């Protein structure tokens, strides 16, 4: 068993540091108005939420449990299980992870593992978890990854986990796949759809700026890509087009860089575009499949019904009110009972049309897709 214990006084130390970060962020926003698009205060707020969750080991245990459930069918990947009866706010107990640390290439080689395949698997599994599950390990540096005797990747330390909603997952996949296909216009369009770029910006100019980033690195191995130059160029683009920081995507962006670094150490010849392609293609194919389209239509319909649970009762009440008015039992100053009967018939027709339309939409989805 592996036991993790919260260090005494660590919460107070973190609180002190976070308060200092808030003060620094406020100064930046006050003294450098141009930096407000980076949303420093929102970034610190997002960071605070991550840190506070990390200081409750019950939440970390729950993250490990959910992560293990999500990846149960993933070949070559295993997550230690928490022992719930031995977990508390300040103590976490999990099954022991045995194997070579991902930072030790010599140990990996002596164990007979293929580092090239491991590098590919790390990248593909990370993308798969982010896109498929919307839950990913957000601190996958080399010290947090082991390779067991069976060649399985075993992550540890689940204090920092990232989440993506369905829209962000779709935007992420389409942006990355657009880069792989070198379709910079499509990448630009997705940025605008996602609200990542101000709507008054030029889509053509933004696509051109993306091309200036994508073309120089297309087809290159990780070792040939200058991470510093790439980040500097991306930052220049965000500044030119007044793009605001997206706090919800910070963990993902940070971890993508970290995971690429892990792959770089394992096998410098890894081509991140070619490795990522099958994961992105399969996921996009699945979300655009007929079954997925039908499921989305049915879920949307169910959500609409859920949002108006009292609609049938409302229609019945309106119907009853019209009857009372037509019978003279409810006097609202209208003397023409014939007009009330007409309104009553219109109301019934309206209700019936809504019901028929709803089932019609479902049937059309089933037939077309």
Q: C-alpha angle 266/268/271, rounded to 5°?
A: 110
Q: Which long-range contacts (CB under 8 A, 24 or more apart) does 10-18 make?
A: 10/55, 11/55, 14/51, 14/52, 14/55, 18/44, 18/47, 18/48, 18/51
DSSP state of 89: S
Nearest to 84 by CA among 57, 60, 59, 61: 61
Q: Find out whether 325 and 340 touch, Cβ atoms under 8 Å.
A: yes
SS3 (DSSP) at 98: coil
CA separation for the pair 361, 297 (Å, rounded): 8
SS3 (DSSP) at 135: strand
CA separation for the pair 209, 104 (Å, rounded): 39
Block residue for tokens 């002190």: 16
Q: Within its chain, how far is the Cα of 58 from the centroid?
A: 23
Q: Find out whether 279 and 128 touch, Cβ atoms under 8 Å.
A: yes
Q: Which residues form the catalytic set?
A: 139
DSSP state of 150: T
């Amino acid at each position: 068993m592996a036991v993790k214990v919260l260090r005494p006084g660590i919460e107070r130390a973190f609180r002190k540091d976070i308060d200092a970060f808030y003060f620094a962020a406020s100064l930046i926003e006050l003294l450098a108005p141009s930096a407000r698009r980076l949303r420093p205060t929102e970034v610190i707020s997002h960071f605070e939420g991550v840190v506070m969750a990390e200081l409750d080991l019950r939440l970390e245990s729950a993250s490990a449990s959910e992560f293990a459930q999500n990846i149960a069918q993933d070949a070559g990947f295993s997550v230690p299980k928490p022992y719930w009866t031995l977990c508390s706010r300040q103590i976490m107990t999990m099954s022991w992870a045995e194997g070579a640390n991902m930072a030790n290439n010599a140990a990996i080689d002596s164990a007979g593992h293929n580092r090239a395949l491991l590098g590919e698997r790390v990248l593909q599994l990370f993308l798969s978890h982010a896109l498929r599950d919307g839950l990913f390990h957000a601190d996958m540096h080399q010290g947090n990854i082991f390779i067991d005797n069976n060649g399985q990747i075993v992550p540890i330390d689940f204090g920092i986990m990232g989440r993506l909603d369905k829209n962000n997952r779709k935007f992420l996949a389409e942006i990355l796949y657009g880069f792989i296909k070198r379709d910079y216009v499509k990448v630009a369009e997705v940025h605008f759809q996602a609200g990542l770029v101000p709507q008054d910006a030029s889509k053509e100019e933004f696509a051109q700026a993306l091309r200036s980033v994508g073309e120089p690195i297309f087809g290159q191995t990780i070792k040939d890509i200058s991470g510093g130059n790439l980040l500097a160029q991306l930052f220049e683009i965000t500044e030119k087009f007044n793009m605001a920081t997206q706090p919800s995507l910070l963990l993902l962006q940070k971890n993508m860089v970290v995971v690429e670094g892990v792959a770089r150490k394992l096998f410098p010849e890894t081509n991140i575009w070619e490795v990522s392609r099958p994961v992105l293609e399969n996921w996009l194919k699945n979300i655009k499949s007929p079954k997925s389209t039908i499921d989305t239509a049915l879920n949307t319909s169910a959500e609409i019904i859920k949002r108006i649970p009292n609609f049938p009762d409302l229609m019945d009440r309106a119907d009853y009110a019209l009857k009372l008015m037509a019978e003279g039992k409810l006097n609202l100053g209208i003397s023409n009972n014939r007009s009330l009967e007409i309104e009553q018939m219109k109301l019934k027709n309206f209700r019936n049309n809504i019901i028929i339309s709803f089932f019609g939409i479902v049937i059309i989805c089933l037939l077309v897709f």
